[in-house]
């Protein structure tokens, strides 16, 4: 055997788990994104007292597949004056950045691609922020006014909110004392509490910043469909458009995973240290079983026969998954898989909950005006994030140097941060009142 | 072997896109190639097991500074006034710098010939698990041995930031009399 083939074989032997996980992520994320869109449409329909997609499959369950087929066979238009290469390449950047960032995440203690990256959480944040290059370049390459306005808005928004989000993360990192993802989760296990309770202000700032970074309402100014047609995506169609779309939803999963890892206890179940709550480990199987039973209940009420059959199939799939979760309890040799399975369940559960809150916000809050967005970012969130880091550091110092109770120091410093935030908001109100009284001043939204 | 392949891949990408960055006429194309160069350099940092440097390069240069570059390029029309601003001595300086760089590279290549492997193959670097954690070590030396330079650098940055704010404010005042 020649040395090249030998090196390749050695490479495969060392990395096959990682390669398989990577392929699974790349294959599954588009499907998950499609179903997130379906959930979003259903939720929007529910909030607006309509039914949402109902035609394709029972309750529209096959709608994402139909949408994907439609997007794939749609005509792919390239504007005549567009910058060919960049126009072609920009959506790929967005998509690849989001998927690469996913490579460093831990979906539960066992399911991950990259093994033990020392700078894990920084890698995820840094690489996922590269997706913005795709938006900016795509908007520019389209050679259209709507696109370039969307792209410029996107840049300004990214620069303002990434600063706030990045500083907010520091508060959790101070508590964890490390950048490695498994160690961050272990630190939350050791401190008996998720970091959201120790640094609530940091979580809030990160949440607002992550909504802004993923371009979702109420911060969806880069694509603002009622003002800019579709912003940076105006000239894109078919498959390229769907790459942007996938990138956006993959990015949502990434920020939700970062928030889950840093603030919501990662893959730990609720109350991970309390022994008599160990029955909570059975909850994943019970949850899936309940969903299966509900599907059977609904199956009888379907109007079309084939839809009844489909509902039964979904129910069986749920029962199968529940069986996978319950198997390690019954069969002793499989017990090693229990932490991995339960961890994956809790992690994905928390990520879904976070994305669900994103959707609520999208359908409840109207879009910000651009100057309001800039004011919120620069006058309130960034100062608040800096003060929050200072407070958390002070609390940790008080705890380690003077032996004060951690809860006491945390509550005091959080109260301090909140008082300052009140002050900031009041200052901001005064400033805007003064500005509106002198209304003759020409407004400059990018002055920040 | 693998280390060599990775190094030469990233080095080649960096050099090639640096050359393309200089030769493009379109400012956005130049910016894209500069981003590629920075990313390839980050790849070399990672291959040297300097993961903190790698991610700092990506977050600061690609995610921050280059985004601002592109922002400015899109807001300002660069094609019009560039002829008036052009630096007159450019050709002379460029030749001098290129000659100096060429000499340096030649000397390095000649010296590298004496290294094991002819200096062309990368010797296997230490496995990552045997190195001390990168960011922790960096933080320790930054906050103990190099505390004074670190503080001086941060004050310098603060001064630059305040200066930028002051300049922006001043221009605004003259705009709205």
Which residue in A has a C-alpha nearest to residue B31's C-alpha? A137
> What ipTM describes this predicted complex?
0.76
- Within 10 Å of residue A343's Cβ, how many Cβ atoms? 22
The reported pLDDT for the residue numbered B153 is 92
| C-alpha–C-alpha distance, residues A441 and A434, integer Å | 11
Number of domains in chain A: 1
Residue A368 contacts residue A219 (beta carbons within 8 Å): yes
The reported pLDDT for the residue numbered A447 is 54
Token pair for A325: 């979760």
The reported pLDDT for the residue numbered B29 is 84
The reported pLDDT for the residue numbered B128 is 56
CA of A322, closest CA in chain B: separation in Å?
38
Which residue in A has a C-alpha nearest to residue B72's C-alpha? A152
> DSSP 3-state assignment of A107?
strand
Q: Check A133 against B62: CB less than 8 A apart.
A: yes
Token pair for A10: 């050695």
Q: Confirm whether A137 is domain-assigned.
A: yes
Token pair for A66: 């139909």
Q: Confirm whether A275 is domain-assigned.
A: no
Helix (H) or strand (E) holding A112: strand A111-112
Rg value, chain A, Cα = 24
The reported pLDDT for the residue numbered B102 is 93
Q: Which residue among A118, A119, A148 places its CB closest to the CB of B74? A: A148
Q: Confirm whether A189 is domain-assigned.
A: yes
Count of helices and strands (H, E) across chain B: 8, 0
Helix (H) or strand (E) holding B89: none
CA of A295, closest CA in chain B: separation in Å?
46
Q: What is the pLDDT of residues B28-37, one digit of tens each?
A: 888 889 999 9
Q: Confirm whether A406 is domain-assigned.
A: yes
Instruction: Name which of A223, A28, A212, A204 is nearest A107 in CA terms.
Output: A28
Q: Check B1 against A126: CB less than 8 A apart.
A: no
The parent domain of residue A421 ranges over 17-268+360-435
Domain boundaries, chain B: 2-145
Q: What is the pLDDT of residues A417-430, one digit of tens each?
A: 888 888 888 887 78
| Residue burial A280-301, b: 16+ Cβ < 10 Å; e: rest | ebebbbebbbebbeebeebbee
Chain A residues in contact with B29 (beta carbon < 8 A): 86
Q: Check A152 against B71: CB less than 8 A apart.
A: yes
Token pair for A150: 């969307």
Tell whether omega for the bond before B160 is within 30 degrees of 0, i.e. cis. Answer: no
The reported pLDDT for the residue numbered B177 is 44
Q: Confirm whether A398 is domain-assigned.
A: yes
How far apart, in Å, are the Cα atoms of A154 and each of A244, A373, B142? 14, 11, 35
Chain B residues interacting with chain A (CB cutoff of 8 angstroms): 1-2, 26, 28-29, 32, 35, 51-52, 54-55, 58-59, 62-64, 66-68, 70-71, 74-75, 128-129, 133-135, 168, 172, 176
Residue A124 contacts residue A258 (beta carbons within 8 Å): yes
| Residue burial B86-105, b: 16+ Cβ < 10 Å; e: rest | eeeeeeeeeeeeeeeeeeee
CA of B62, closest CA in chain A: separation in Å?
7
CB-based contacts of A369: which residues, under 8 Å, 6+ apart?
none
Q: Check A132 against B67: CB less than 8 A apart.
A: yes
pLDDT along chain A (448 residues), means of 10: 76 77 83 87 87 78 85 81 81 87 80 74 86 83 81 82 87 84 83 82 89 81 69 78 85 89 83 73 80 81 77 84 79 73 84 89 83 82 87 82 76 82 81 68 54
Q: Which residue among B70, B71, B135 places its CB closest to the CB of A119? A: B135
Q: What is the pTM of this model?
A: 0.82
| C-alpha–C-alpha distance, residues A88 and A365, integer Å | 34
Over its length of 177 residues, how does chain B's per-residue pLDDT go in tens digits?
A: 677 788 888 999 999 999 988 888 778 888 889 999 999 999 888 887 788 888 888 888 888 888 888 888 877 766 555 555 566 677 888 899 999 999 998 888 888 777 666 666 666 665 655 666 777 788 888 888 888 998 999 999 999 989 988 887 765 555 544
User: How far does CA B106 lie from the centroid of its chain?
Assistant: 23
The topology under which CATH files domain B2-145 is 1.20.120
């Amino acid at each position: 055997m020649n040395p090249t083939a030998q090196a390749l074989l050695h490479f495969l032997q060392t990395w096959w788990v990682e390669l398989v996980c990577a392929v699974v992520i790349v294959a599954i994320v588009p499907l998950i994104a499609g179903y997130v869109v379906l959930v979003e449409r259903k939720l929007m329909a529910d909030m607006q007292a309509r039914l949402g997609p109902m035609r394709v499959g029972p309750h529209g369950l096959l709608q994402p597949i139909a949408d994907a087929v439609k997007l794939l066979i749609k005509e792919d238009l390239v504007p005549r004056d567009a910058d060919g290469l960049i126009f072609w390449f920009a959506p790929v950047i967005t998509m690849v950045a989001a998927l690469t960032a996913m490579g460093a995440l831990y979906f539960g203690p066992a399911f991950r691609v990259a093994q033990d990256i020392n700078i894990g959480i920084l890698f995820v944040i840094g690489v996922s922020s590269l997706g913005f290059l795709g938006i900016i370049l795509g908007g520019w390459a389209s050679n259209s006014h709507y696109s370039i306005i969307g792209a410029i808005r996107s840049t300004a928004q990214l620069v303002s909110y990434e600063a706030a989000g990045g500083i907010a993360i520091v508060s959790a990192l101070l508590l964890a004392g490390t950048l490695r993802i498994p160690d961050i989760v272990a630190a939350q296990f050791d401190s008996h509490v998720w970091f959201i309770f120790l640094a609530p202000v940091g979580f809030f700032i990160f949440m607002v910043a992550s909504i802004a970074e993923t371009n979702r309402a109420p911060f969806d100014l880069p694509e603002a469909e009622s003002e800019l047609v579709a912003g940076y995506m105006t000239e894109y169609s078919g498959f390229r458009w769907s790459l942007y779309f996938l990138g956006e939803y993959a990015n949502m999963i990434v920020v939700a995973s970062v928030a889950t890892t840093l603030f919501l206890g990662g893959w730990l179940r609720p109350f991970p240290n309390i022994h008599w709550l160990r029955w909570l480990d059975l909850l994943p199987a019970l949850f899936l079983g309940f969903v299966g039973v509900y599907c059977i209940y609904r199956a009888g009420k379907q109007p079309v026969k084939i839809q009844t059959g489909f509902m039964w199939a979904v129910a069986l799939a749920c029962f199968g998954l529940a069986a996978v979760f319950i198997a390690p309890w019954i069969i002793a040799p499989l017990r090693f898989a229990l932490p991995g399975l339960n961890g994956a369940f809790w992690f994905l559960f928390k990520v879904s909950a976070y994305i669900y809150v994103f959707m609520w916000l999208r359908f409840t809050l109207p879009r910000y005006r651009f100057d309001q967005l800039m004011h919120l970012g620069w006058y309130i969130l960034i100062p608040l994030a800096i003060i929050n880091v200072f407070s958390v550091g002070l609390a940790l110092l008080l705890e380690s140097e003077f032996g004060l109770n951690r809860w006491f120091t945390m509550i005091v410093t959080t109260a301090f941060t909140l008082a300052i935030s009140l002050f900031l908001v009041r200052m901001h109100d005064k400033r805007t009142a003064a500005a509106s009284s002198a209304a003759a001043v020409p407004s400059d939204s990018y002055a920040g | 072997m693998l280390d060599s392949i990775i190094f030469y891949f990233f080095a080649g990408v960096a050099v090639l896109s640096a050359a393309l960055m200089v030769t493009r006429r379109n400012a956005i194309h130049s910016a894209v190639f500069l981003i590629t160069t920075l990313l390839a350099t980050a790849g070399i940092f990672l291959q040297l097991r300097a993961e903190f440097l790698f991610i700092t390069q990506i977050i600061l240069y690609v995610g921050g500074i280059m985004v601002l570059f592109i922002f400015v390029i899109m807001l300002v029309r660069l094609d019009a006034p560039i002829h008036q601003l052009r630096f007159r001595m450019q050709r002379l300086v460029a030749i001098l710098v290129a000659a100096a760089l060429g000499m340096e590279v030649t000397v390095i290549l000649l010296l590298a010939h004496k290294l094991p492997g002819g200096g062309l193959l990368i010797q296997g670097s230490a496995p990552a698990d045997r190195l001390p954690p990168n960011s922790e070590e960096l933080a320790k030396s930054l906050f103990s041995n190099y505390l004074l330079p670190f503080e001086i650098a941060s004050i310098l940055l603060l001064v630059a930031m305040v200066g930028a704010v002051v300049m922006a404010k001043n221009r605004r005042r003259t705009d709205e009399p």
